[in-house]
């Protein structure tokens, strides 16, 4: 079926530590995944994406890993800062169904100073 | 300049009323979407329009009617509002290919 789920609803880390947010998906035919960050009172903001022909993609302080064998992806945030506190969503893009995004439940990241 | 804008940001209304939420994007994108976010932060697609043509309708009650006067605008009209319609509604836009979607700031609808 169409579902994208997260293992942990909340994550608390110390400032400066690395954060890892996990996500499982169910559709083995999916080939495009996106991570979004949503700050309080705002809309989701694109962080990084990855296509199924890649295992890893790096951005500024963020890395996304994709394991197609177990249908799992993760978002790693290096040197987490207070400004990283937000809810993080993984989303699966069904481009053959009009491009709709199927979102996971979200993980709330809290960064302690 | 705001890429995807929505009005109003807050909307408080009584059950049974009809209301509209407007969305505009200045990114030149071909596709626009409406998502609903519930109190548990779960985001779910409602509709999608590509070049003014409806391409996604995710079993949303027919009290909800999207309208796209041009490809830069996608409005959402809701008839006979119910308590369960209370949520945050997000508009988004993207290019036609599977590219990232850009979200607006959201409209918090409260039905009393």
Neighbouring-strand partners of residue B18: none
User: CB distance A99–B48 less than 8 Å?
Assistant: yes
Query: What is the pLDDT at residue A2?
Result: 44
Indicate the SS3 state at residue A96.
helix
Give tens-digit pLDDT for A61-99.
Answer: 999 999 999 999 999 999 999 999 999 999 998 777 777
Give tens-digit pLDDT for A22-42.
Answer: 999 888 778 899 999 999 999
Neighbour-count burial for A73-90, b at 16+ CB within 10 Å, e otherwise: bbbbbeebeeebbbbbbb
Give tens-digit pLDDT for B78-97.
Answer: 999 999 999 999 999 998 76
Over 70: is that where the pLDDT of B73 sits? yes
Give tens-digit pLDDT for B11-32.
Answer: 999 999 999 999 999 999 999 9
| Mean per-residue pLDDT, A51-61 | 94
Chain A interface mutation, best of B2, B34, B43, highest count of A Cβ atoms under 10 Å: B43
Burial (CB count within 10 angstroms: exposed 0-12, middle 13-18, buried 19+), residue B94: buried
From chain B, the residues in CB contact with A92 under 8 A are none
Min Cα separation A22/chain B (Å)? 16
From chain B, the residues in CB contact with A98 under 8 A are 31, 48, 50, 55-56
Chain A interface mutation, best of B100, B104, B105, B108, highest count of A Cβ atoms under 10 Å: B100
Query: What is the pLDDT at residue B1?
Result: 64
């Amino acid at each position: 079926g169409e579902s994208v789920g997260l293992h942990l609803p909340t994550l608390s880390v110390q400032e400066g530590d690395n954060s890892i947010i996990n996500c499982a998906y169910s559709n083995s035919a999916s080939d495009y995944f996106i991570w979004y960050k949503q700050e309080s009172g705002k809309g989701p903001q694109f962080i990084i994406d990855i296509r199924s022909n890649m295992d890893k993609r790096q951005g500024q302080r963020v890395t996304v890993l994709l394991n197609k064998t177990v249908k799992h992806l993760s978002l790693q945030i290096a040197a987490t800062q207070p400004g990283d506190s937000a809810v993080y969503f993984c989303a699966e893009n069904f481009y053959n169904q009009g491009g709709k995004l199927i979102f996971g439940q979200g993980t709330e990241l809290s960064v302690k100073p | 300049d705001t890429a995807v804008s929505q009005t109003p940001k807050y909307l408080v209304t009584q059950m049974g009323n009809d209301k509209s939420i407007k969305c505009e994007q200045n990114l030149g994108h071909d596709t626009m979407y409406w998502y609903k976010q519930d109190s548990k932060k779960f985001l779910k697609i409602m509709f999608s329009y590509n070049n003014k043509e409806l391409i996604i309708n995710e079993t949303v009650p027919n009290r909800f009617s999207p309208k796209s006067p041009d490809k830069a605008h996608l409005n959402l009209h809701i008839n006979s509002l119910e308590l369960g319609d209370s949520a945050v509604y997000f508009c988004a836009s993207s290019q036609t290919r599977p590219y990232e979607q850009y979200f607006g700031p959201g409209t918090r609808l409260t039905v009393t």
